[in-house]
Amino acid sequence: MKTPVEGFSKLSKAEKIDWIAQNCTEDPKTSKQLLERYWNTDPQVQKLHDEFIENTLSNYYLPFAVAPNFLIDGEIYAIPMAIEESSVVAAASKAAKFWLDRGGFKTEILGTEKVGQVHFIYKGDPKKLASFFETLKPELLQSVSTITQNMEKRGGGINHIELRDLSDKIEGYHQLHCTFETLDAMGANFINSCLEQFAQTLKEKAKLHTDFSEEEKNIEVVMSILSNYVPHCVVKAEVSCPIAQLETKDMPAEEFAQKFLRAVNIAKVEPYRAVTHNKGIMNGIDAVVLATGNDFRAVEAGGHAYAAKEGRYSSLTHAKIEDGVFKFWIEVPLALGTVGGLTTLHPLVKLALEILQKPSAKELMRIVAVAGLAQNFAAVRSLVTTGIQKGHMKMHLLNMLNQMGASENEKKQLVEYFKNHTVTNASVKEALEKIQSQR
């Protein structure tokens, strides 16, 4: 592409594809065929997908899988996952099976409060602003009554509005720090609508406030936006069992428990390890969040911020051994929804929620946290026993064989062969060439 394009969004879908193929790809004909090959055969379903975002050209597929046998608070679940990374679903399933006979996963909702803020600049007497805010608060709530009435009928709404003075950090910087309960909705649009109305009311009422000077009346609203940091919208998931029940073919139970504990403690104190440790947790969390039509970028951002809440980036999971009992748990912020957004539009999202027995937002929080804990248990277990590559590379074997153009019969032979041999790119290539040379 040598020059910018004007009016791209106004082109038809076919025209957009033509332009992209001609200006941005080496083989326009093949590129167009590839994009069209991934369209849904049902025009109505494709139209639905086209309208999710702007400038849609095609659909980008991810595998949609389930990890079965999760015992969560006494109920059995098969957990839907949408993810491309080899071994994630297998690892989660293996962890679920391991804990199925050891009491399963126990969960607890620690809070469901979400946050939004109006950021503004006020240059004047802070005492006058504080006094103004106390008289303004009822008017702020009244100004959003039409927005909040339905949410309030269901038991949600605005919990609290607080004036915060941060002028020691940025000159004149203040904020309305607001907390919300949005029930089964993730609540982004609800929160942002309330905040923008708060901002408008704040500016209008400040101009009329007789105690303010002319400069003080001129409040500058910088922005009004929800926060994806939700340290009070948190769920805890836990597994535990007597140490003796941790016996595996790879290692005695006591040795395994101690090594596992040390591995988690290393992730607590070493940020380089903690980032990868928590990335493994997000393998499980993101896969379920994506499958259920939620915002995995928001969950990631909030989760990593929570991991640094003590001033140093650290593990989201914790482990201890107490009175001969091994305990492993996670506390993680999860702002999720089961109504609104894609949950009522995307056919596979609706199916995923049906597979999960149509959970409430709280129930989905529990399930997602368990997926993250299971994934982390499986990863750490591999790390302290056989090493991560043995299992991961075997799961990656089919991808490697597909890249090398192996036939179905060759793949079958090599999957059997590598059950007892080390998988590396070189060893797979060598074994495939050996089979092909015997034709």
CATH of 114-227, one of 3.40.50.1100, 3.30.70.420, 3.90.180.10, 3.40.50.1820: 3.30.70.420
CB 113 within 8 A of CB 179: yes
Which one is catalytic: 16, 318, 392, 394?
A: 392
How wide is the angle at C-alpha 99 spanned by C-alphas 98 and 102, nearest 5°? 115
Q: Alpha-carbon distance 287 to 368, whole Å?
A: 9
Which one is catalytic: 49, 259, 279, 350?
A: 279
How many CB atoms within 10 Å of residue 263?
18
CB 290 within 8 A of CB 296: yes
Residue pointed to by tokens 């408008």: 200
The two structure tokens encoding residue 286: 């993101």
Measure CA 435 to chain center: 43
Asked whether this chain's domains 64-111+232-386 and 114-227 adopt the same fold, the reply is no
Catalytic: 162?
no
Q: Is 345 left (phi over 0), alpha (psi -120 to 50) or beta?
A: alpha
How does pLDDT run along the chain (439 residues), one tens digit per residue? 578 999 999 999 999 999 999 999 999 999 999 999 999 999 999 999 999 999 999 999 999 999 999 999 999 999 999 999 988 999 999 999 999 999 999 999 999 999 999 999 999 999 999 999 999 999 999 999 999 999 999 999 999 999 999 999 999 999 999 999 999 999 999 999 999 999 999 999 999 999 999 999 999 999 999 999 999 999 999 999 999 999 877 789 999 999 999 999 999 999 999 999 999 999 999 999 999 999 999 999 999 999 999 999 999 999 999 999 999 999 999 999 999 888 889 999 999 999 999 999 999 999 999 999 999 999 999 999 987 655 555 566 777 888 888 888 888 888 888 777 777 778 888 888 888 888 7
- H helices within 209-335, ranges in order? 214-217, 253-269, 271-291, 296-307
- The SS3 call for residue 329 is strand
Q: Alpha-carbon distance 89 to 137, whole Å?
A: 49
Which one is catalytic: 73, 85, 125, 216?
A: 85
- The class that CATH gives domain 64-111+232-386 is alpha beta
pTM of the shown model: 0.89
Measure CA 2 to chain center: 37
Q: Which residues contact 92 (CB under 8 A, 6 or more apart)?
A: 67, 79, 81, 284, 371, 374, 375, 378
- H helices within 51-144, ranges in order? 88-100, 126-143
pLDDT reported for residue 435: 84
> Phi/psi at 223 (nearest 5 deg)?
-165, 160
Q: Alpha-carbon distance 360 to 350, whole Å?
A: 13
Dihedral sign, Cα of residue 93, residue 99, residue 100, residue 106: negative
> Phi/psi at 278 (nearest 5 deg)?
-75, -30
Q: Alpha-carbon distance 200 to 139, whole Å?
A: 11
Catalytic: 238?
no
pLDDT reported for residue 424: 79
Name beta bridge partners: 158: 180
Catalytic: 6?
no
The two structure tokens encoding residue 130: 């504080």
What are the structural domain ranges in the chain?
8-48, 64-111+232-386, 114-227, 391-437
The two structure tokens encoding residue 263: 């591995």
Nearest by Cα to 184 from 81, 330, 284, 294: 294
Which one is catalytic: 184, 238, 286, 295?
A: 295
pLDDT reported for residue 1: 57
pLDDT reported for residue 416: 82
Q: Alpha-carbon distance 277 to 318, whole Å?
A: 11
Catalytic: 279?
yes
